[in-house]
Amino acid sequence: MPIFKKSKGKKKICVIGLDGVPYSLLIELARTGLMSTIARLIDSGHLHQMRASLPEISAVSWTNFMTGTNPGNHGIFGFLDFKPGTYDLRIPNFLDVKVDTIWDILTQSGYKSIVINQPSTYPARRINGVMISGFVAVDLSRSVYPPALFSTLEQMGYQIDVDSAKVAENPALLWPELSKTMASHQKALNYFWEQDWDFFEFVITGTDRLHHFLWSAYQDKSHPAHQAFLDFYQQIDRIIAKIIAGFKKLNESEDSLFILSDHGFTGISQEVYLNAWLEKEGYLSFTTPSPKSLNEISPKSVAFALDPNRIYLNLENKFPGGLVSRSQKKEIKAEIAQKLLQLEYNGQKVIRQVFKAEEIYKGKYSSLGPDLLAVSYPGFDLKGSLKKKEIFGRSYLQGMHTWDDAFFWAAEDYGPDLAIEDVASLILKKVK
Ligand SMILES: [Zn+2]
């Protein structure tokens, strides 16, 4: 990595993101010697176990990270959300984020930021510096600010993400897709590292894709892809080592370096279809045998779920066919939560905790979100599908997200009670 001339007397800040990498996995890979850089960082600083957002998905968790707040304030509740006042769904994007991001605040402080592959920033918008959106970015030309850099990225063969649809059809494509994406991101890393910046952020998202498709390759030592899984993590360890070496050449110490994930991961034992459960419990019914959308719920419906674990009451004044009144809300929420906690699969409890929205969301947009959020025991992957008639089932996916096993590495110890929305203010304390 080329030496960059230190300029302007600002303290440089570097953030590395590892999408979907659990604290527990990093500890294991450091202990076994596979990730020697992480092992050294654990000795020299603090690896914190951290809570992700709820739901524990990238769209929400990374938005908590970049805004330093929760969905009640920033307005992003999931990859999908209702069009207000309807049962129609839409995909919220970066323009829906209702508060300043960490890069806006850095811009106001005169900091120049370079951000590569940050999930949930599509379409890329103006910051002082460079923004390259990560998934769910659909069009590279709208994934980069300033737009003039589009041709530079195109020439690099920049690929935003692994083509998950292609890999779902043909699992053999996972490794070539991962290496193509990683190689193009590393080219961008090398190119932009040489530019003028005060804040540099690089996010690796192939980790989440690998875990969804091949988590069992890590858990099962006899799995044909076990070594490839470990090799992938060794490659990540080398990338981290290279970034740190480059950062130190700028005469910056590790006290302005931060590494984090947006949620944890574990293996799937069963997928759990919350709408099928709500149907069986009598809270949800449809006017058609194979409903395609929530527009087909019957007028008697009391509640429905959106991916992955968001339960909405069919509230009057919120939904067009809403029948649950404000005065019934508390009681119905308590009843559904109580029943969910009783749900079992082969004698095992499925749901660990059910949060009322007001325990998670604070802010003026809170009422747009769900009423309940269910957290499962590891292995039970909650889903909001409308297509399933049975409560339990399996798909080609092997790994699922976890809520309280994300990680945050920093030189300083910030204590045991850390959530991803706390990270922005810790980083911004380094701004001089
Ligand atoms: Zn994921």
Q: Calculate how far, in angstroms, residue 20's C-alpha sits from the geometric centre of ligand 1.
A: 6
What are the start and end residues of each CATH 3.30.1360 domain in the chain? 270-393
| DSSP string for 362-430 | -STTGGGS-SEEEEEPTTEEEE--SS-SSSEE--S--EEEESS-EEEEESS---S-EEGGGHHHHHHTT
Q: What is 13-267+400-428's CATH superfamily?
A: Alkaline Phosphatase, subunit A (3.40.720.10)
The alpha carbon of 260 and the centre of ligand 1 are apart by a number of angstroms equal to 15
- Cβ distance 327 to 301 under 8 Å? no
Which tokens sit at 227?
A: 């070594």
Q: For the structural domain made of 270-393, what CATH number should be given?
A: 3.30.1360
Q: Are strands 270-273 and 392-393 parallel, antiparallel or unpaired?
A: antiparallel
As annotated, the residues of the chain forming the CATH 3.40.720.10 domain(s) are: 13-267+400-428
- What is the C-alpha to C-alpha distance for residues 274 and 386, in angstroms, rounded to an integer? 9
CA of 248 relative to ligand 1 center, distance in Å? 32
Report the separation in Å between the CA atom of 108 and the middle of ligand 1, taken as the mean of its atom positions: 32
> 8 alpha carbon to ligand 1 midpoint, in Å?
39
Q: Of the candidates 54, 29, 32, which has an alpha carbon nearest to the alpha carbon of residue 359?
A: 54
Which H or E element spans position 46?
A: strand 46-51
Instruction: Using the mean position of ligand 1's atoms as its centre, give its distance from the Cα of residue 171 in Å.
Output: 16
C-alpha 13 to ligand 1 mean position (Å): 27
Give distance in angstroms: CA of 136 to centre of ligand 1: 11
CA 209–ligand 1 middle distance (angstroms):
6
Write out the chain's pLDDT in tens, 432 residues. 443 444 467 899 999 999 999 999 999 999 999 999 999 999 999 999 999 999 999 999 999 999 999 999 999 999 999 999 999 999 999 999 999 999 999 999 999 999 999 999 999 999 999 999 999 888 999 999 999 999 999 999 999 999 999 998 998 899 999 999 999 999 999 999 999 999 999 999 999 999 999 999 999 999 999 999 999 999 999 999 999 999 999 988 999 999 999 999 999 999 999 999 999 999 999 999 999 999 999 999 999 999 999 999 999 999 999 999 999 999 999 999 999 999 999 999 999 999 999 999 999 999 999 999 999 999 999 999 999 999 999 999 999 999 999 999 999 999 999 999 999 999 999 997
Taking the centre of ligand 1 as the mean of its atom positions, its distance from the CA of residue 205, in whole angstroms, is 9
